[in-house]
C-alpha cells in the first residue's frame, strides 16, 4: 500500500511540476512570435515593401529569437529557403481572422495554404493561409488549389528575386 501511495504522490508532484513548468518554459524559452503589428509599421525582409495588408503578413523567427516580417507568404518562404539553417519558426496571418496567426514551421495550429488568382495578395502570388477547417469555404469562394510550402518554394514563386509572380 505504501508503495502505491508513494507512486501516486510522485505522479501528482510530477503533474503539478509539468503544469507549472510548461507555461514558464513558453514564457522564457519559447519564441515571442507571432506578434501583431500595425499596418505600415514594418517592411518586408525579403522585398522591402511596406507591409499594409495584414491578411498576408508573415513572420519568421531565427535561432536567436529575432522576428523578421514579410508582406506575403511567398516572401516568407523565399527567406526560409535562403536561411534554412537559421529559421526556427514561421507564421502566416490567418486570412479569415485578422490578428491571428497560423504556423508554417514550428509549434502551433498548422496553416493550410491556398493559391488562387482571385486572392489579391501584395506580391501577386495569390497565397492565403487558413485553418484546415476553413479551406473548403475559401476554395468554393475563390477557386484555386491547396499548396504546400515546399511546392511553393520549388515552383519558383518563392525565388530570391522578390519579383511578383
Ligand atoms: Zn515581400
46 within domain boundaries: no
At 59-99, the pLDDT tens digits run: 999 999 999 999 999 999 999 999 988 999 999 999 999 89
Residue 120: what pLDDT?
94
Residue 156: what pLDDT?
73
Residue 60: what pLDDT?
97
Please name the residues in contact with 54: beta carbons below 8 A apart, sequence gap of 6 or more: 37, 39, 93, 98, 99
37 within domain boundaries: no
Residue 3: what pLDDT?
59
Measure 58 CA to ligand 1 centroid, in angstroms. 9
Record the pTM.
0.77
Is residue 68 located within the same domain as residue 145?
yes
Nine cell digits for residue 122: 501584395
| Signed CA dihedral, 54, 56, 61, 62: sign only | negative
At 120-164, the pLDDT tens digits run: 999 899 999 999 999 999 999 999 999 999 999 998 766 544 444
Is residue 103 located within the same domain as residue 143?
yes
Is residue 12 located within the same domain as residue 62?
no
Is residue 60 located within the same domain as residue 116?
yes
Which residues make beta-bridge pairs with 102?
A: 92
Domain count, the chain: 2
128 within domain boundaries: yes
Measure 27 CA to ligand 1 centroid, in angstroms. 29
Is residue 75 located within the same domain as residue 1?
no
Is residue 62 located within the same domain as residue 121?
yes
Is residue 24 located within the same domain as residue 84?
no
**φ, ψ at 59 (rounded to 5°):** -145, 145
Measure 75 CA to ligand 1 centroid, in angstroms. 5
| pLDDT at residue 2 is higher than 60 | no
Measure 48 CA to ligand 1 centroid, in angstroms. 6
Is residue 144 located within the same domain as residue 98?
yes
Per-residue pLDDT, averaged over 22-40, amounts to 70
Is residue 75 located within the same domain as residue 150?
yes
Dump the DSSP string for 23-53.
HHHHHHTS---S----TTS-B-TTT--B---
Measure 118 CA to ligand 1 centroid, in angstroms. 19
Residue 155: what pLDDT?
87
39 within domain boundaries: no
Confidence of residue 31 (pLDDT cuts 50, 70, 90): very low
Dump the DSSP string for 49-115.
-B---GGG-EEEEETT--EEEESSHHHHHHHHHHTTTTEEEEEEEBTTSTT-EEEEESSSSBPEEEE
Q: Which domain holds residue 79?
A: 54-155
Amino acid at each position: 500500500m505504501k508503495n502505491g501511495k508513494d507512486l501516486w504522490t510522485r505522479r501528482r508532484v510530477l503533474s503539478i511540476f509539468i503544469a507549472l513548468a510548461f507555461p514558464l518554459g513558453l514564457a522564457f524559452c519559447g519564441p515571442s512570435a507571432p506578434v501583431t503589428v500595425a499596418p505600415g509599421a514594418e517592411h518586408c525582409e525579403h522585398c522591402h515593401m511596406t507591409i499594409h495588408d495584414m491578411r498576408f503578413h508573415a513572420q519568421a523567427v531565427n535561432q536567436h529569437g529575432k522576428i523578421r516580417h514579410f508582406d506575403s507568404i511567398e516572401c516568407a518562404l523565399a527567406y526560409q529557403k535562403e536561411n534554412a539553417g537559421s529559421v526556427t519558426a514561421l507564421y502566416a496571418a490567418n486570412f479569415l481572422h485578422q490578428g491571428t496567426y497560423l504556423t508554417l514551421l514550428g509549434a502551433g495550429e498548422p496553416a493550410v495554404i491556398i493559391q488562387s488568382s482571385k486572392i489579391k495578395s501584395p506580391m501577386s502570388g495569390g497565397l492565403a493561409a487558413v485553418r484546415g477547417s476553413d479551406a473548403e469555404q475559401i476554395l468554393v469562394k475563390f477557386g484555386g488549389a491547396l499548396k504546400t510550402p515546399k511546392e511553393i518554394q520549388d515552383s519558383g514563386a518563392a525565388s530570391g528575386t522578390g519579383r511578383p509572380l
